[in-house]
Chain A
Amino acid sequence: MDYILSITGHILEGCGLTLQIYFVTIIGAVPLAILFALGRTSGPKALDRALGIYAWIFRGTPLLLQLFFFYYGLTIFGISLPPFGAAALTFILNYAAYMMEIFRSGIQSIDKGQYEAAHALNLSYWQTMRRIILPQALKRTLPPSANEAITLVKDTALVVVIGMGEMLRSAKEIFTRDFSITPFVIAAIFYLLLTSVVINVFRTLEKKLEVYD
């Protein structure tokens, strides 16, 4: 029991970094994705095309490769980011690409009549988006957004390749030291706990917003 407690403590330390990457990514990627989605739906053609290329690159290459690029690759241009900075930048840009497309589909699914009513009431573009279109669009995109939020919990494990001590690496260290699979079981339980929290948050949100259907 003491053994389990001691390794749990070690794994928890790694969990702290996992959570940091998780929240930094969410806080950075969601607003960015909303802005990008608005750019694609109501910006000029050139902006739409540029954002299309952005999505093509970030959705079309491995996250692992992107992580290598921002950590090692940028040094060629004389830019050297600390591991956390490189990880945060990579995750934000990668997740914003996926979320942008999800939000875009949500915005485009809103009935034209909503825009017309807002126009007839003299709401400005930003007022229309902020108060009328986005609340409905974001609600509709909760299920696919939950998928991304769950995937992100597990993707954080990738930062180990740029030398960061997150949860899975903590478990691996104990495994190497003691040759026991217990740390992996404990790490698995932690991941399940984290994803359960995410699932519940989204379930609560969906329930709460159900009132108006």
Chain B
Amino acid sequence: MVIVRLSNVHKYFGDTKAVDGVDLEVNAGEVVSIIGPSGSGKSTLLRCINQLESVDYGRVEIEGQAVVEVDNSGKRSHLDKAEVLKAQKKLGMVFQHFNLFPHKTVLENIIEAPMLVNKEHRKSAVERAEKLLQQVGLSDKHNAYPSQISGGQKQRVAIARTLGMEPDILLCDEPTSALDPELVGEVLAVLRDLAKANMTMLVVTHEMAFAREISNRVIFMDQGKVLEDGSPEKIFKSPEHPRIRDFISKMI
């Protein structure tokens, strides 16, 4: 099953083509890494999927349901709002800067959306949250505030918070870029476990070794375009573009 399908997606910031006609499909169970130089549009592409950026032209589909569709005159298709919302709920997102709610404890961060959005009862939301905290190795922190835990722990809570909404795909926007080097490992370990458990993931990352290890597919982006889309072996060992070889030799 195709979880996310992008067709000819464009996003401009003024004259800058941040995303310049990208087609992409992510299938259930796939772990896809997006790599490339900074400013190549990786994060913007990810943000176009869950409408954190409004698409200027193109179409985004989640599990067959179009969530945004803009034709080349800039006209947006009228889509059934309830259906769009239902589709959007299948997306989970992990941010570079965690974006935990600072005024809520770790546990409250996780149960907030299930209770508000899905009207789940507090008791069952808490039970699930405790399980998720166990899964990310933070059972002892449920009453801590975000300011009281480390960056690596914050990101693990953010992952648990996203999983609390039971998404079908996890969008990860440079999940370890804001972390001290010694804290990167614990976050990657959690993501690795998720990948092993068959979670569908689309990960923008600068961690080449990690991308190579956990991905089924690696996408190289440059100047808003997908330059190459292939298996990790292909991209890392014998990419077609010299540009990619250059980039990878600098990163490793």
B residues near A124, Cβ cutoff 8 Å = 117
In the complex, the answer to whether A131 meets B116 with C-beta atoms within 8 Å is yes
Q: Is A212 an interface residue (CB 8 A)?
A: yes
Q: How far is the CB of B148 from chain A (nearest CB, A)?
A: 9
CB proximity of A106 to chain B, nearest CB, Å: 13
A/B pair count, beta carbons within 8 Å? 61
Are the C-beta atoms of B92 and A120 separated by less than 8 Å? yes
Contact (Cβ within 8 A) B165 A121: yes
Q: Does B64 contact A (CB under 8 A)?
A: no
Whether B177 is near chain A, meaning CB under 8 Å from some CB there, is no
Asked if A135 meets B103 with Cβ closer than 8 Å, knowing A116-B52, A120-B50, the reply is yes
Verify if B101 is at the interface (C-beta below 8 Å from A): yes
Check if A59 is an interface residue, CB within 8 A of chain B: no
Residue of B91, B101, B104 near A120 (CB, 8 A) is: B91
Expressed in whole angstroms, the Cα–Cα distance for A127 and B119 within the complex equals 12
A120 pairs with B93, CB closer than 8 A? yes
With both beta carbons as reference points, the residue of chain A lying nearest to B94 in the complex is identified as A120
Proximity bits, A97-125, B CB within 8 Å = 1, else 0: 00000000000000101101101111110
Q: Which single residue of chain B is at the shortest CB-CB distance from A127?
A: B116
How distant is the Cα of A131 from the Cα of B101 in the complex, in angstroms?
Answer: 10
Alpha-carbon separation in the docked complex, A111 to B103 (Å): 13
For B100, list chain A residues within 8 Å (CB): 117
Do A113 and B97 contact each other (CB < 8 Å), given the known contacts A121-B165, A122-B89, A212-B145?
Answer: yes
B12 within 8 A of partner (CB)? no
> Which residues from A are CB-within-8-Å of B50?
119-120
Nearest Cβ in chain A — how far from B103, in angstroms? 5
| A121 pairs with B117, CB closer than 8 A | yes
* Secondary structure class of chain A's binding surface, majority of residues: helix
Contact across chains for B52 and A212 when beta carbons are under 8 A apart: no
A111 → B minimal CB distance (Å):
8
- Interface residue B134 (Cβ < 8 Å from any Cβ of A): no
B132 to chain A, nearest CB (A): 14
Q: Is the CB of B101 within 8 A of A122?
A: no
Partner of A136, one of B92, B98, B103, B117: B103
With a cutoff of 8 Å between Cβ atoms, the chain B residues found around residue A212 in the complex are: 102-104, 145-147
Chain A contacts of B40 at CB under 8 A? none
Task: Select the residue from A111, A121, A123, A211 with max chain B CB neighbours within 10 A.
Answer: A121
Look across to chain A and name the residue whose beta carbon is closest to the beta carbon of B115: A131
Q: Which residues of chain A are within 8 angstroms of B88 by Cβ–Cβ distance?
A: 122
Decide: A114 near B113, CB < 8 A? Known: A120-B50, A213-B147: no
Write the A121-146 contact mask toward B (1 if CB under 8 angstroms, else 0).
11110010001100110010000000
- Leading 3 A-B pairs by shortest Cβ distance: A117-B99, A113-B99, A121-B113
Known: A120-B95, A212-B147. 15 other contacts (CB 8 A): A111-B99, A113-B97, A114-B99, A116-B95, A116-B99, A117-B100, A117-B158, A119-B52, A121-B161, A121-B165, A122-B85, A124-B117, A131-B116, A135-B103, A212-B103
